[in-house]
Structure 1
Amino acid sequence: MPWWRRSKGAASGQVIDQSGALVPVKSEQFDDLAELGRYVAANGIRVVDPGVPLSTYAGTAAALNVWETQPSVRKVTDYIARALATIPWHVYERVSDTDRRRVTDHPLAQLLANPAPAVTPSRLWHSVILDWLIHDRWCVQVLPNADTPSGWELRRKPARRMHVLADDDDQPAWLHLISSRGPSQVVPVPGPYLFDHGYATIGADGTSPMETMRQILAEQSEAVAYRRAVWKNGARVPAVIERPADAPGWSKTAKERFQAAFNLFMGRGSSVGGTPILEDGMRLVTVDAFKPVDTQDIEGRKLTDAEVSSFYHIPPELVGAREGTFSNIDAFRQMLYTHGIGPDITMMQDVLNTMLVPLIAPGTDLYVEANVEAKLRGSFTEQAMLLQTAVGAPYMLRSEARARQNLPHVDGTDELITPMNVVVGGLASPTDTAPPPQLPKGQGRPA
């Protein structure tokens, strides 16, 4: 039975159209919230909350179910969330147009380093980013907390309990916060909340990617169900035993004795792996039975992984959907933090600078920046070669090198040593070769 039925005819009910006139309605019924929401939007029927279509509330639970049941979605979204959540956030002070200073002792920096008691920064942002990737919206509440070093606390508001209500121009105007312990709250924005949302055709609540990928994921679900049925019902024995039609009569006792003896050779007894003894002219005949390769299970899963990866704008090679080499995997890793999730980093950075900084550090020249360089650093050997070439001389103290190797400090190692062959105007780096000899004027280079 449908859970919702609208009144029928002028005698039973009327609705208000966009002009405010009463309009009789015909007989219709709706099987779910999505169908009702589409009808309301298409016919311009006014509802109490024009900012959030009714279908959104039904889609929230459906999106969570997709993440729980679809391996491709969880694999890709978890990969992106882990990559984004482990990027450290640094706070800087804009001293001048050409001078920036790293700030570590301000409450803003302390809050980003310790967002809440018993909650690490990476774990907080991992959950927040998953909300964003699954529901296309996220929210974090900023609360005073005297028990933290910064005096503040960041608390995630799950996307399933939060909706963005919009005005007539689809601009966010309120946050609808649903609580399981009390009445729901509708709070105006801006306020003590950090939030963001994607595009929606109606309102400002975002559009879940799970809705867009529904057809692809449904195809994958059907493929998995088909392969499971094939595995369950397909023949698994590559051979059968044929008994001649003119063989002597086979009593029930003789048949049961033969079956019991044959089971010993099929892995159910001490004679497993041996050779069965056939009787009465029986023959062991091989058949073209079901083969696991026929279901193309691996190919189907890789295809879905690649589709979901492309949807989230990351190279499929990074999640194993396509094979790659060492060189192109390294190139894809570099692209991940620029073209792949680079826009996501910028959007989160914008939220912190426009919503969090005015709350914690009003009237200051502080700003938050993602330290993407920490994710793009090469090996120690690559970094050493690059820095040594860039500065034109050794850049590390002997004491710093000993500390990197966890060796004790030794007196006299706090001075930078510059080799004699590295001087200003000489070699650019101790790894370079000797400069060409200077010849007197008028003489060419030797052949």
Structure 2
Amino acid sequence: MAFWHRWTKQRPASPGRVIDQDGVPVLAKAAEPFADLSELGRYITQHGIRVVDPGVPLANYAGTAAAMNVWETQPSVRKVVDYIARALSTIPWHVYERVSDTDRRRVTDHPLALLLANPAPAVPPSRLWHSVIVDWLIHDRWCLQVLPNADTASGWELRRKPARRMHVLADDDDQPAALYLISSRGPAEVVPLPGPYLFDHGYATVGADGTSPMETMQQILAEQSEAVEWRRSVWRNGARVPTVIERPKEAPPWSKTAKERFQAAFNAFMGRGSAAGGTPILEDGMKLVTVESFKPRDTEDIEGRKLTDAEVASSYHIPPELVGAREGTFSNLDAFRQMLYTHSVGPDITMLQDVINTMLVPLIAPGTNLYVEANVEAKLRGSFTEQATILQTATGAPYMLRSEARTKFNLPWVDGTDELVTPLNVLVGGLASPTDTAPPPALPKGQGRPA
């Protein structure tokens, strides 16, 4: 790639002997340097220039670096992406066996279940999935390598391949054909697919490497950067109060020394020293006059940040209220929380689940009826009071042993507490729930109920 910096884009000049990819003579061009690798990559693609072993399009390298810079420098992106990643990475994965169409059994001792419970020896499961999901949300692609490991309970481990070090190579139909893995210890490796990897990518107009959302939001983020820089300049250079100093005409002329002394004294009140924010001492009949210019509230710092937060949240299909970009009430925040795991990130959960079931299960559990499902219900549970009310109504009777209730408060076990206590007013075929009222008494034969 060292020679690519010498390439230049061309503009028509005079006829020459330049030949295009079809052998047709074209006009000679005057040299003009490219602005960056992205422009060079687009030029090569548009003009059909063939490159020996093209590998990954040049624009992808520039896009990867730009996306990494956004994560580090844009608070709105980091706030929203981290919110989604924390929500998704803490969802537990459960393994089930499909016994029949009407029977499913949870599996906990199979290597697949053990691997999902502890995917990497030195990395907590939630932290591993958090990094993977951040790769996905920032770069629109992610990758995990499946490696045998005799030191783990499952005999396997999952190792993350950072998005900056992996690209998806596609065939002529933009279908994934191989993984391009960059290593700092040697040359890049091209791994044909299918292989011992879990990966996914979003849509791309060319190829199968995905399209970073940072490219789509670059105008919004650029506006935010300019706004922050402008506000910083205003607060650094602008007067602390919107006033000017007027000196009367009849005042004696200032000497250079007197003017510099006064200016130095006044700057002390505008600076960051011990006198900053105090009251300046004026002389020679001077007075402060208010002018209609910049006011501190004109920067609208908080409003501008909330607007950017809302735009980024909407780009990731997240209600802005959940990240504090808009005011919310208790009722609608609870509704948004329920929507988060269904309408907002529900499709993302399904896509992760599909990758695991189509790529990991055949590797770890070939020829079985096992499948993996995200336990989303664990994130949608209400308070203990709400759960108790719902379960008691659904079962029609008490559902917890006294010994189980004692463990909720870390109390020791007591003999005789391992039996389910059923109140006398709860009978099978009688009351539907202990919260129901008793049925009305039967009336003597021939007597009707009062109106």
Fold shared by both chains (TM-score > 0.5): yes
Q: Distance in 2 between matches of 1:139 and 1:186?
A: 14
Q: 1:210 — aligned with what? A: 214
Q: 1:230 — aligned with what? A: 234
User: Where does 1:285-324 land on structure 2 (aligned, <5 Å)?
Assistant: 285-288=289-292, 290-324=294-328
Mapped contact 1:93–1:101 kept (Cα < 8 A): yes
Mapped contact 1:237–1:289 kept (Cα < 8 A): no
Q: Distance in 2 between matches of 1:274 and 1:80?
A: 46
Q: 1:78 — aligned with what? A: 82
Deviation, structure 1 residue 328: 0.3
Q: Deviations over 1:23-49 (max 9, x none)?
A: 546426432222222233333333445
Deviation, structure 1 residue 247: 3.4
User: Where does 1:329-344 land on structure 2 (aligned, <5 Å)?
Assistant: 329-344=333-348
The aligned amino acid for 2:337 is R
Q: 1:46 — aligned with what? A: 50
**Residue range with higher mean Cα deviation, 409-418 or 140-149:** 140-149
Q: Secondary structure, in 3 states, of the residue corresponding to 2:418?
A: coil
User: Where does 1:185-224 land on structure 2 (aligned, <5 Å)?
Assistant: 185-224=189-228
> Structure 1 length normalisation: TM-score?
0.90
Mapped contact 1:87–1:371 kept (Cα < 8 A): yes
Match of 1:414 among 414, 418, 421: 418
Mapped contact 1:93–1:366 kept (Cα < 8 A): yes
Q: Secondary structure, in 3 states, of the residue corresponding to 1:169?
A: coil
Deviation, structure 1 residue 263: 8.6
Q: Distance in 2 between matches of 1:161 and 1:222?
A: 31
Distance 1:263 1:191, change over 3 A: closer
Q: Deviations over 1:5-33 (max 9, x none)?
A: 2689885643424xxx4554642643222
Q: Secondary structure, in 3 states, of the residue corresponding to 2:97?
A: strand
Q: Distance in 1 between matches of 2:253 and 2:49?
A: 80
Q: Distance in 2 between matches of 1:386 and 1:146?
A: 45
Q: Distance in 2 between matches of 1:272 and 1:58?
A: 45
Q: 1:4 — aligned with what? A: 7
Q: 2:131 — aligned with what? A: 127
Q: 2:147 — aligned with what? A: 143
1:326 maps to 2:296: no
Distance 1:265 1:370, change over 3 A: closer
Distance 1:314 1:176, change over 3 A: same
Mapped contact 1:142–1:152 kept (Cα < 8 A): yes
Q: Secondary structure, in 3 states, of the residue corresponding to 2:203?
A: coil
Q: Secondary structure, in 3 states, of the residue corresponding to 2:416?
A: coil
Q: 1:16 — aligned with what? A: 21
**Unaligned residue ranges in structure 1 (runs of 5+):** none
The aligned amino acid for 1:14 is I
Q: 2:352 — aligned with what? A: 348
Mapped contact 1:51–1:164 kept (Cα < 8 A): no
Deviation, structure 1 residue 392: 0.5
Deviation, structure 1 residue 445: 2.7
User: Where does 1:82-93 land on structure 2 (aligned, <5 Å)?
Assistant: 82-93=86-97
Q: 2:369 — aligned with what? A: 365
Q: Distance in 1 between matches of 2:159 and 2:205?
A: 29
Deviation, structure 1 residue 299: 1.4
**Unaligned residue ranges in structure 2 (runs of 5+):** none
> Structure 2 length normalisation: TM-score?
0.89
Q: Distance in 1 between matches of 2:117 and 2:417?
A: 33
Distance 1:391 1:122, change over 3 A: same
Q: Over the residues paired in the alignment, what is the CA RMSD in angstroms?
A: 2.9
Mapped contact 2:147–2:196 kept (Cα < 8 A): yes
**Residue range with higher mean Cα deviation, 30-39 or 74-83:** 30-39
1:64 maps to 2:68: yes
Q: Distance in 1 between matches of 2:319 and 2:97?
A: 35
How many residues get paired? 444
Q: Distance in 2 between matches of 1:334 and 1:268?
A: 48
**Residue range with higher mean Cα deviation, 349-358 or 289-298:** 289-298
The aligned amino acid for 2:299 is T
Distance 1:49 1:369, change over 3 A: farther
The aligned amino acid for 1:204 is A
Mapped contact 2:242–2:295 kept (Cα < 8 A): no
